[in-house]
Amino acid sequence: MRKEFTYELAQSYIRFDFKANDEFKTALEEYLLHKGKEYAKDFFNKDLVINEFFFTVETEDGSLKSRLKIFGTLLIGGLISYGGIRTGIDYLIQDARAITNHIVTDIANEPNIDPNSIGRVERRLGVPGQLKRLFQDIDNLNSNRNNLTETEQTALINKISSSYRNLINILDQPIIEQIQLEFREQEILYITEQNQLPLPNDDFDFPRLTAIREEDEGIFLIGEGEIDGEIKLPKPN
């Protein structure tokens, strides 16, 4: 799998209510990488994501904060065959949430960790989450177009426009084409007249953009083969 064509599929954000020494932070990073690899391979639907993953992990000082991000390649055919791209995205979101839940449970069961010291957990959903929110806004507009004021409708159209343009800068052409299909099927092409969205035009010149540009973004993805075996967390300090 080429790294530059990977998408962020999930992010596990965990904040601990303690300060930690460098030994613990290093161990936590290695621990999260191992757990991310294990659960990504266990939970992500093999019909939706190529079974090869990349990872990043980072920690912050103060009350210790950690972020594990999981990247992979989406299978467009798989997304479509699962009842359409919306259903496929819902499966990915369920998988991403399950991964974070299992990681947090494992950390809470570590003998050197007080479960009550896990102060905050966020199950962030990467690109699938962005797509889900776009589809929700489309549905909101479709269902309520007769009930929204002109100001409300304009605000929602602008939100859809912004989300769509952001996704053009992230996704490759096959997924953008599926989003266009959603707009056609939902019969909201009139948005283009009000907001100049490049939605229904088959001749729209999509830039060949990629989700991850390591050399541009300073992001260094960690491959599965670079992740060691499971470790135990030491005492935080």
| 188 band by pLDDT with thresholds 50, 70 and 90 | low
177 or 209, which is more confident: 177
Q: Does domain 3-128+212-225 have CATH number 3.90.550?
A: no
Whole-number pLDDT of residue 143? 85
Write the pLDDT tens digit of every residue in 122-171: 999 999 999 999 989 988 888 887 888 888 888 888 888 788 888 877 77
Q: In the chain, where does the domain assigned CATH 3.30.70 lie?
A: 3-128+212-225
Average pLDDT of 100-117? 97
Q: Is 213 left (phi over 0), alpha (psi -120 to 50) or beta?
A: beta
Please report, rounded to a whole number, the percentage of residues in the chain having pLDDT higher than 70. Answer: 82
| 59 band by pLDDT with thresholds 50, 70 and 90 | very high
| Per-residue pLDDT at 228 exceeds 70 | yes
Give the integer Cα–Cα distance in Å for 67 and 43.
19
Predicted TM-score of the model (pTM)? 0.85
Q: Where are the alpha helices (DSSP H) in the chain?
A: 22-43, 76-81, 85-108, 126-144, 150-168, 173-185, 191-195, 214-217
Q: On the CB side of 83, how many CA atoms lie within 13 Å of its CA?
A: 6
127 or 194, which is more confident: 127
